[in-house]
């Protein structure tokens, strides 16, 4: 397997395997120039080293653009599924294997199929409070040499979805689209998608379509909030929404909207559905929802695309807030300010220079990392 290398990294690529429990995983620390590598731990049956490398690089730019002192990193555990008992063994086996990197070189956090529960298991195994963020709010610890206790700020508080909503609001202003009544479609209805839905609905947007791995629902007049909230409350698949009109997963991508929000898995927008997309803007809530060549193709068609490392940085900003010991109120204020500022800066320059927003965002992020590299 050819490893893609450049002046930024990756600094470490770690493959681990525990034959006793069958755990196999990857850790990629892209760069520690701005601080310890920060990125979540995903658990899926088909996660690959290449995927983790791509995500680690995305985290490098995300942290740099957000202006927080973290480098980029990511981890993945091949998870075939099973009981909580087995999952705990996998998480703690992985924690033991990479313990020597945490937290000086790597700080973990929630990602696909991991949340506050898994983060508690991780930190219990490493014995180091700072080895991961996204821990339960009830998990508190007094750190050596510091007054008071530091408590977790779980991603279940919705920091990433809240940040995505802020990116949508800022994009709406840039494109002169009134948010009240603006048509929105959301693909992926886990933590990020549900909170994005909730905050945009509160802002007056009209969510007309939602999809997840089970299927899709649609209403041209806007989905019934009571029915959607019932799905969220019961943690159901979107196909279980009672009274909702079902559409095919393929037709979801063809719904005309102001804002399309991919909040699910890597490469969800691809060769099979890209030509059907009818959106004025795509706000990338999920990490790497499409390859860059497809992103460029859609951008040339006039679709404004707010890149993942701009729009979904709420989670890592929340992680930094937890790392610093902030309370949730201060965390949400920090997420709103940083996401709005980053989105505004990128879109203003993109419109002024007539360039793809990703190109602009990357240039800003690279400049920050290179400036720090020149000091060392």
pLDDT, tens digit, 9 for 90 and up, residues 209-246: 999 999 999 999 999 999 999 999 999 999 999 889 99
Q: Crossing angle of helices 159-174/328-353, nearest 10°?
A: 30
Asked if residue 192 belongs to a domain, the reply is yes
- The closest of 326, 365, 361, 308 to 163, measured between CA atoms, is 308
Considering the domain architecture, whether residues 35 and 176 belong to the same structural domain is answered as no
Tell me, yes or no, whether 223 lies in a domain: yes
Question: Which CATH number belongs to the domain containing residue 105 in this structure?
Answer: 3.40.50.10860
pLDDT of the residue at 143? 60
Are 125 and 196 in the same domain? no
β partners of residue 216: 211, 247
Domain end: 152, 175, 196, which one?
A: 152
Inform me whether the pLDDT recorded for 145 exceeds 70: no
pTM: 0.86
pLDDT at 62: 92
265/332: higher pLDDT: 332
Residues 168 and 192 in one domain: yes
Q: In this predicted structure, what is the pLDDT of residue 98?
A: 98
DSSP label at 8? S
273-310 pLDDT tens trace: 999 999 999 999 998 899 999 999 999 999 999 999 99
How many domains does the structure of the chain reveal?
2
- Residue 333 has a pLDDT of 97
Same domain membership, residue 346 and residue 197 = yes
Calculate mean pLDDT across residues 243-266: 95
Report cis status (omega within 30 of 0) of the bond before 356: no
At residue 147, does pLDDT exceed 90? no
Q: Identify the CATH number of the domain in which residue 285 sits.
A: 3.40.50.720
Catalytic member of 38, 74, 87, 135: 74
Q: What's the rounded Cα separation, in Å, for the pair 122 and 154?
A: 14
Q: Which domain holds residue 51?
A: 12-62+70-152
- Given 117, 152, 187, the domain boundary residue is 152
Instruction: Evaluate whether residue 264 is within a structural domain.
Output: yes
In a domain? residue 272: yes
Is residue 339 a contact partner of residue 168, using CB atoms and an 8 Å limit? no
> In the prediction, which pLDDT does 149 show?
73
Residues 145 and 264 in one domain: no
Residue 290 and residue 198 share a domain = yes
Which residues lie below 8 Å from residue 238, measured CB to CB, with a gap of 6+? 189, 210, 211, 212, 214, 215, 216, 217, 231, 244
DSSP β-ladder status, 150-151 and 140-141: antiparallel
Does residue 105 have an active-site annotation?
Answer: no
pLDDT score of 370: 94
Q: Tell me the average pLDDT across 33-44.
A: 96
């Amino acid at each position: 397997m050819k490893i893609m290398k450049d002046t930024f990294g990756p600094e470490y690529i770690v493959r681990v395997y525990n034959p006793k429990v069958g755990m196999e995983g990857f850790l990629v620390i892209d760069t520690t120039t701005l601080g310890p590598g920060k990125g979540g731990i995903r658990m899926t049956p088909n996660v690959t080293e290449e995927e983790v490398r791509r995500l680690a690089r995305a985290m490098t730019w995300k942290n740099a653009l957000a202006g927080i002192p973290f480098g980029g990193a990511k981890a993945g555990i091949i998870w075939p599924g099973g009981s909580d008992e087995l999952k705990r063994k996998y998480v703690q086996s992985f924690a033991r294997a990479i313990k020597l990197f945490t937290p000086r070189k790597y700080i973990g956090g929630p990602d696909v199929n991991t949340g506050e529960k898994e983060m508690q298991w991780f930190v219990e195994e490493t014995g180091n409070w700072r080895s991961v963020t996204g821990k339960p709010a009830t998990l508190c610890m007094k750190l050596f040499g510091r007054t008071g206790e530091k408590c977790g700020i779980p991603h279940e508080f919705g920091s990433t979805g809240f940040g995505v909503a802020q990116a949508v609001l800022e994009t709406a202003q840039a494109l002169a689209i009134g948010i009240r009544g603006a048509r929105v479609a959301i693909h992926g209805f886990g933590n990020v998608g549900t909170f994005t839905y909730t905050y945009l609905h509160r802002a007056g947007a009209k969510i007309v379509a939602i999809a997840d791995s089970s299927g899709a629902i649609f209403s041209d007049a806007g989905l019934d909030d009571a029915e959607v909230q019932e799905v969220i409350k019961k943690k159901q698949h979107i196909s279980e929404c009672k009274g909702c009109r079902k559409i095919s997963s393929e037709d979801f991508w063809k719904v005309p909207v102001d804002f399309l929000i991919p909040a699910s898995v890597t490469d969800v927008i691809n060769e099979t559905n890209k030509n059907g997309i009818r959106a004025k803007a795509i706000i990338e809530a999920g990490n790497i929802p499409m390859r860059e060549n497809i992103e460029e193709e859609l951008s040339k068609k006039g679709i404004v695309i707010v890149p993942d490392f701009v729009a979904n940085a709420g989670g890592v900003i929340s992680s930094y807030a937890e790392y610093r010991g902030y309370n949730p109120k201060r965390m949400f204020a920090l997420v709103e300010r940083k996401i709005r500022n980053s989105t505004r800066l990128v879109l203003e320059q993109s419109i002024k220079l007539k360039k793809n927003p990703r190109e602009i965002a990357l240039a800003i992020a690279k400049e920050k990392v290179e400036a720090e590299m020149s000091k060392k």
